Structures are given as structure tokens and as C-alpha cells.
Structure 1
């Protein structure tokens, strides 16, 4: 029973590590107002929406807050020609409810993965010492390899055609077609056009790759540095004890 629990704990860590590496950049970018503001200016959201940048920047902050609060609907009021009106129509508001559910799920996965990774290191390595640091490094590399294979396949699919990959993502992530918006009339897609999401996706992918490379380099470097020490310990453990021949009388 104890052995099974140890295997399950190790498997949970190997799964949680790549999940943490994947979800952390997504959560960070979704919560960084600078990403929104840069996108508004790069893709001329002011002209597309007919709203001043100050209003768009405020809306970006409201969206970030919406992902973190308990509100069911995203209600943003903007001023157009001196008249206040909702930023998004009913279809866009309903789609944002779906987006919020997806983001909340991602945030929870991110938090659980962080707890599993830190908890395993604290309990299995530092406290009980059931797994050595070398064992942790090896397990981490195994988790990165498995996660990297899955992420790599997804990245290859996205790089062959972002439009197709973006559509496939929406069809998998959402149960309806509310995400199909009209760029001529719907401000949500005017503020966040597909090229914006392509930039963010590639940026997130670059951060994930850098994180994975840093962890892999640290683990591989430690294994190489301690290889001779580990070999000498095994050698001493496998050497039979010397015996003294009995003296004849």
C-alpha cells in the first residue's frame, strides 16, 4: 500500500510539473494589463472600435478583474459621443461567461499543480527523504519529456496554420458558437483580433520553452555533477567485506 502511494505521488509530481510550466505563463499574460494595452495599440483597436485608448485600457483592467472576481457577467460601460452604452452586446457577454469558466479552470489547475510540486518536494525529498535530490531530478526530466511531447505536438499543429489551430481550440473548448463574432460589429473581436492571439500564443509558448529549458538544464546539470559521487557510493556499497584468513597453528 505504501509503495503504491509513493508511485502515485511520484506520478502526480511528474504530471503537475509540466502543467505548472504551461499554466503559469497563461495566467500571467491574462493578468498583465501591459499585454492588453500593447495589443490595443499594435492592432489599432481605437480605430476599430471607435473608442479612445483610455476607455479601452480601462476595459482591459475590468476584464482582468472579471477573471478574478465572482461576477457572473462582464458589465463594462463606455462613453461614446457623450452617451454611455454597454461595451459588449448580449452575445459577447455570454461568450465572456464561457471564457471566464475556462480561465477559472485553468487558474485552479495552476494552483493545484503548484501545491503538488511544492508539496512533493517538501514531503518526499526534504522531510521524509524517501526520494533523493538525484531521484527528483530524474523524475523531473521524465515529467518534462512527457509534457514536452504533448506540447510539442500541439505547437507543431499551431505552427502549420494558426487559423486552423485557433478554430480547433474553440471547437474543443466551447460547447457553442458564441465565439464566432463579427469583426465589423462586435467590439470584443475588434479589441482582440486573431493576430493579437497569435502573438500572445507565441509569447506564451516561448516562456514555456524557456521555463522547461531552465528546469531541464538545472536537473541535467545536477545529475552530471553528482554522477561520480553516486557511482562511488554504489561501488562502496557493492564491495564485499574483507575477510581475514584464519591462522594455522
Structure 2
């Protein structure tokens, strides 16, 4: 529950609550899905199958992240709008430039955050992709 300090409009507070609820679902999926994925992954037991699984998963992730980067560079406003319309009520997240939420977290912040997170994911993903390739190509 957010306490109304008078700095944010009710609409901004509602959006922050919606974000909190979305993140709650995302983290539950990660906390349950991560260990389940590891159990299923290691149950493969064959290094080549494990490698192919890593390689394909990392390649799909790479395609998605490159799409996000290209889309961000071409039209970040449209990407931002599509994301918000997908996860939130289309009329709940649009604010005035003078609203506190946009002054604290301006669009430039979200643009930079999107690009930085994408680059970090690509770097980490490349290690999984390389490991997957090495395991897949292993002879034993």
C-alpha cells in the first residue's frame, strides 16, 4: 500500500500499485520457474541435449533482446506504449509532463534503462550461448 504524501496524484499512485502487483507475479514465476527449469535441465543428463537446450534458449533470448534494442532505437515511445498497453489499463499510465512520477522517472531514464538492461542481458546470454554450443559440440 502506498501512502499518499501529496506529491503524487491518485492516478500515479494507482499505477505504482499496478506495477507492484505485476512485479509480484513476475517474481513468483521466476522463483518457481527457475528451480523447476534447473531440475528439468539437469534431468536431461546428456551433455549434448543440455547444450542444445542452452543454445536454443539463448538464441531465442538473443533474438528477442535484439528486437527490443532495434525497436528502442527506432521508436522507443511506441515500444513503451505497447508494453504498457499489454500489461496495464491503457488509460491508467498516461501522465502529464509535470506529474511527479515523470519528473522523478523521465522517459530518458526508461530509455537508458531499457538499453542498459538489454546490453547486460546480451552479454550474460552470450556466455550461456557459448556454453550451450560447447556442450552441444562435445563428443562424449
User: Would you say same fold, with TM above 0.5?
Assistant: yes
- For the pair 1:136 / 2:50, whether they are aligned, the reply is yes
Aligned residue number for residue 212 of structure 1: 125
CA distance in 1, matches of 2:117, 2:10: 30
2:39 equivalent to 1:119: yes
d(CA) in 1 for partners of 2:38 and 2:10?
A: 42
SS of match in other structure, 1:100: helix
Q: How many angstroms does 1:213 deviate by?
A: 0.1
Q: Which residue of 2 aligns with 1:166?
A: 80
Higher relative CO (Cα under 8 Å, sequence separation at least 6) belongs to: 2
Residue 91 of structure 1 is matched in structure 2 by 11
| Aligned-CA RMSD value | 2.0
Contact 2:65 2:118 in 1 (8 A): no
TM-score (norm 2): 0.86
Are the equivalent residues in 1 in contact too, given 2:59–2:129 (CA < 8 A)?
A: no
- Equivalent of 2:101 in 162, 168, 188: 188
C-alpha distance in 2, partners of 1:106/1:193?
24
Q: Could you list the runs of 4 or more consecutive aligned residues of structure 1 that deviate by over 3 angstroms after TM superposition?
A: none
Q: Give me the whole-angstrom Cα distance separating, in 2, the residues matched to 1:151 and 1:206.
A: 8
Report the counterpart of residue 148 of structure 1 in structure 2: 62
Offset, 1:145: 2.2
Instruction: Indicate the structure (1 or 2) with the bigger Cα radius of gyration.
Output: 1
Structure 2: 5+ residue runs without aligned partners?
none
**Matched residues in 2 for 1:175 and 1:76: separation?**
21
Give deviations 1:112-131, integer Å, cap 9, x for gaps.
33122222234x14xxxxx3
- Give 2:25's match in structure 1, choosing from 94, 105, 110: 105
State the aligned residue count.
140
Establish whether residue 74 from structure 1 lines up as the match of residue 2 from structure 2: yes
**What is the TM-score with the length of structure 1 in the denominator?**
0.51
Equivalent residues in 2 for 1:229-240, closer than 5 Å: 230=140
Contact kept in structure 1, 2:61 and 2:125, CA below 8 Å: no
Residue 92 of structure 2 corresponds to 178
Query: How far did residue 168 of structure 1 move?
Result: 1.9
User: For 1:124-182, what per-residue CA distance to the aligned partner results, in whole angstroms no more than 9, with x for missing partners?
Assistant: 14xxxxx3122101111122223333333333222211122112221222123121111
